[in-house]
Structure 1
Amino acid sequence: MADSQARLIDIARLRIGLFVYLDLSWTEHPFPFNSFKLRSQDQIDTLRNLGLQRIRYSPDRSDVEPLSDAELSGTEPSVEPAVVAQVPDGKRPEDLAKAARREQLLAQQASLERCERAFSQASRAFRSVIQTARGQPEMAREEVENLIGSMVAEMTDEREVAIRLLSEKAGEETSLHPLNVTVLSVLLGRACGLDEETLLTIGQGALLHDIGKLDLPDRLHFADDPSTAAERKVFQQHVEHGIGIGQRMGLRPSVIRVINEHHENCDGSGYPLGLKGEQLSAASKVVCLVNYYDNLVNPGNPAQAATPHDALAIMFAKHRQQFDATTMAVFIRMMGVYPPGSVVQLTDNRFALSVAVNPMRPLKPRVVVYSEEVPAEDSIILDLEDFRDLGVQRSIKPLQLPRAVFDYLSPRKRMCYFFERARLSGEDIVAA
């Protein structure tokens, strides 16, 4: 709709359901956009705090009409007293707007820092397991059980969790893949409705699925597609080595089974035994699928990496016979059509980076949106669940972005995932 079709109304006539326009700089208000539909009384109060006397609204995009004289009579004070009463300590409206935006930025930064701190702690615990697995195998098992027990407890309480994309610096190579597979596997097992005992098996098996690579030549530690038949044969022996290490650690048979089966496929095309379908445990089906996904987005050669969106498309279109159909369907729902790390174009044509997805609401990721006006460090993460009229129209490859947009969004070369609360107290973004 053209701006010329908008109408001016007194600020006192605002009500939930009106679509409004703010003729202000982004630094002068705390909202993510300069135009949006009013969803709450808090938004109306915030607009009044800005000291505006009148505001533009769109009749065509609004669900309701502005408050009438009859509705205002006896129920609403004039706008000036209402504004003065709501501005504390004589602070200027623009100062309040800046403070509100700063609060949101600090909250989202704190959330990311919590995730990265938890990832770092888990990464240190994993490295300790690797260091003690040979010399003190029972101690290594206890460390695994403690780490996975804590993670499963956090991921399976009553609160919703979101899959979060971490910054590039968090992706320490030796622990990135096992932790990615662990986090996504436990969340997938949870989404499949598996019991807590099975989730513990999934977590321990996922964390240790590649531990047999400790006994491989260094050049094969990070390979996922060895180039020669001889190297492939040696590489595949990491499964056998992993079983041996797991047995010395005293892992439960169900966990060792995951290590043994993490390269098996439901169509019998996997190794080492060529098992099929129901010959695989439920835990193995989960870890096998997630391991394949992470190897697509985080291959040994980063130049061959698929985007998260393309990885799901490849798995479904070309390899779905390798995976359990139900587990695959749940995984796609859990990750969303645009998993964290996907570069997308929104329905209003702006570019954005998906940084988190709530498995309960997979079509509405949380995104960082490119803006010429707002510096990247001041960009507020938007939860598309809060925006009925805004969504994702398509995924695009990072190299298709204009250079300025690419630099702003900083698409990840390596995908590093962890989990966080889907909604944290004090972090809800002012909805539009």
Structure 2
Amino acid sequence: MPDASLPLIPVADLRVGHYVLLDLGWMEHPFPRNQFRLTSQRQIEIIRALGLTRVRIDPARSDLEALEAPAPPGADRRPADTPAAEASIPRTSPDPRAQALAEQRRSLQRCERQYHEGARRYRALQEAVERDPRAAAAEAHTLVGSLLADIDAQGTSAIRLLGDVQGDRGAQHAMNVTVLALLLGRAMGLSADEQTALGLAAFVHDIGKVRLPDVVRYKDDAFTATQLKVYQQHVEHGVTLAQAMALAPAVVQAIAQHHEAADGSGFPWGCSGAEMSPAAHVLALINRYDGLCNPLNPARALTPHEALSRLFAMHKSCFDAKTLSTFIRMIGVYPPGSIVQLSDGRFAQVQAVNAARPLKPRVLVHDSRTPRSEALLLDLQDTPDLSIQRSLRPDQLPRAALDYLEPRPRYCYFFERALRPEGEAREAAA
């Protein structure tokens, strides 16, 4: 952690030569180290894009010569931030496209930073749950409370696809299930207490796996009958640990039932739909969806569109009808991560879905004239003559489009504020 005695300065005041100390995890920024001397304006721009407002510096290790380089003979020595100096600098109108691209990057970086923080808390929870279950519970409460506060503050949220997220598989699954479960619980009108219970159950639903041997920790279709039986015991272990964490009975029940099914085909008890709690119905559905998109063997992964289609066409009886229909409306027929072809023939990847208009998501369009890093997402809400024609698997793309769109080996989700409020979206649809 950076020395708290060192000064914090606004990011806007950073200059080449400052020695900065970033109070971020190593996966939350692109630099090789957390502490370094700024050597270029580009590094400052990257720090600004991280969404930080203040950053800690070490004056003793800053290069004062670089910060206060002498002006050439005859030059005006007034500081560059004085009103007179500012007045002498030609003003140019901001580039709307550059501003939109910068905000697009900032939004994605905020989502990725919060996602990584959640994954960090899950790993901390795993490490603490056996020796200090109350501390593990505190990690879960903090994470879920923070997510719910952000969702409430945003009003209408959009579900967005994250970049190529690296890290622990179990933590990623916990975050995916928690984010989608909270959004679905809100869409179904659950009360504040019910949303909290759902979020806690979603975050720790697989905590019982800490007691499983590594070889059976993640379900594999090649399991023997004995291995499958051991794997299924993670539910019982999870209930025991949840009780040790002093989680509420509603949370424990949802954990106990997260592998049950509405038609009685689930495990460990074969409950029917009427015996399952609303939180358990949500958790069972989201858990299965993420399992189809992100299986142990990536070669067996379904695209988000395929996963949703399979849940509806082949496993419809396994899920509560209202929960499934609300989920489809929320995440869209083409969930984030889906590869699609537009009505004008271009190929694209769905990046974000606003539940108010699920058939009009934001997409990254293959455009050989624009570098991928500089591509603005196309909001299909603003293009009434353009629509999604069909969904594709990545291996159906032309090579150029495949290289440009870069389909991810894993699908990771977070939420952000919708570009326009739900009411405005409805007016646009009228």
Normalised TM-score (structure 2): 0.75
Q: Residue 98 of structure 2 is aligned with which of 74, 95, 102? A: 102
Structure number with greater CO (CA < 8 Å, separation at least 6) is 1
SS across alignment from 1:168: coil
Q: Conserved in 2, the CA contact under 8 Å of 1:344 and 1:396?
A: yes
Give aligned-pair identity as a percent.
48
Residue 171 of structure 1 and its aligned partner are, at CA, apart by 5.6
Residue 377 of structure 1 and its aligned partner are, at CA, apart by 1.2
Residue identity matched to 1:107: E
Q: Name the structure 1 match of 2:197.
A: 201
Residue identity matched to 2:396: Q
Q: Name the structure 2 match of 1:216.
A: 212
Structure-2 separation of matches of 1:339 and 1:360: 13
Q: Conserved in 2, the CA contact under 8 Å of 1:351 and 1:405?
A: yes
Q: Residue 192 of structure 1 is aligned with which of 175, 183, 188? A: 188
Change (3 A) 1:137 1:215: same
The 5 Å alignment of 1:109-128 reads 109-128=105-124
Residue identity matched to 1:162: A
Q: Residue 386 of structure 1 is aligned with which of 382, 389, 399? A: 382
Q: Name the structure 1 match of 2:273.
A: 277
Change (3 A) 1:357 1:170: farther
Residue 169 of structure 1 and its aligned partner are, at CA, apart by 2.8
Structure-1 separation of matches of 2:256 and 2:378: 42
Q: Conserved in 2, the CA contact under 8 Å of 1:297 and 1:415?
A: yes
Q: Conserved in 2, the CA contact under 8 Å of 1:156 and 1:190?
A: no
Is there any run of 5+ residues in structure 1 with no aligned partner, and where?
1-87, 426-430
Tell me whether 1:306 sits opposite 2:302 in the alignment.
Answer: yes
Normalised TM-score (structure 1): 0.75
Q: Conserved in 2, the CA contact under 8 Å of 1:226 and 1:235?
A: no
Residue 314 of structure 1 and its aligned partner are, at CA, apart by 0.4
Q: Residue 180 of structure 1 is aligned with which of 176, 180, 195? A: 176
Change (3 A) 1:422 1:90: closer
1:297-325 per-residue CA deviation (whole Å, 9 max, x = no partner) reads 00011110000000011001100000000
Q: Conserved in 1, the CA contact under 8 Å of 2:122 and 2:171?
A: yes
Residue 165 of structure 1 and its aligned partner are, at CA, apart by 0.5
SS across alignment from 1:156: helix
Structure-1 separation of matches of 2:222 and 2:355: 34
Q: Name the structure 1 match of 2:239.
A: 243
Tell me whether 1:141 sits opposite 2:137 in the alignment.
Answer: yes
In the comparison of the two structures, how many residue pairs are matched?
334
Residue 388 of structure 1 and its aligned partner are, at CA, apart by 1.1
Residue 170 of structure 1 and its aligned partner are, at CA, apart by 4.7
Change (3 A) 1:249 1:225: farther
Structure-2 separation of matches of 1:213 and 1:191: 29
Q: Conserved in 1, the CA contact under 8 Å of 2:216 and 2:231?
A: yes
Structure-1 separation of matches of 2:344 and 2:185: 35
Q: Residue 413 of structure 1 is aligned with which of 406, 409, 414? A: 409
Structure-2 separation of matches of 1:248 and 1:172: 24
Residue 100 of structure 1 and its aligned partner are, at CA, apart by 2.6
Runs of 4+ in 1 over 4 A off after TM superposition: 88-91
Residue identity matched to 1:174: G
1:310-360 per-residue CA deviation (whole Å, 9 max, x = no partner) reads 001100110000000010000111110110000000111100000110112
1:43-102 per-residue CA deviation (whole Å, 9 max, x = no partner) reads xxxxxxxxxxxxxxxxxxxxxxxxxxxxxxxxxxxxxxxxxxxxx9686xxxx68x3322
Q: Name the structure 2 match of 1:30.
A: none
Change (3 A) 1:112 1:170: farther
Q: Conserved in 2, the CA contact under 8 Å of 1:220 and 1:235?
A: yes
Q: Conserved in 1, the CA contact under 8 Å of 2:159 and 2:416?
A: yes
Change (3 A) 1:159 1:110: same
Structure-2 separation of matches of 1:370 and 1:391: 15
Q: Residue 330 of structure 1 is aligned with which of 318, 326, 330? A: 326
Structure-2 separation of matches of 1:270 and 1:226: 19
RMSD over aligned CA atoms reads 1.9
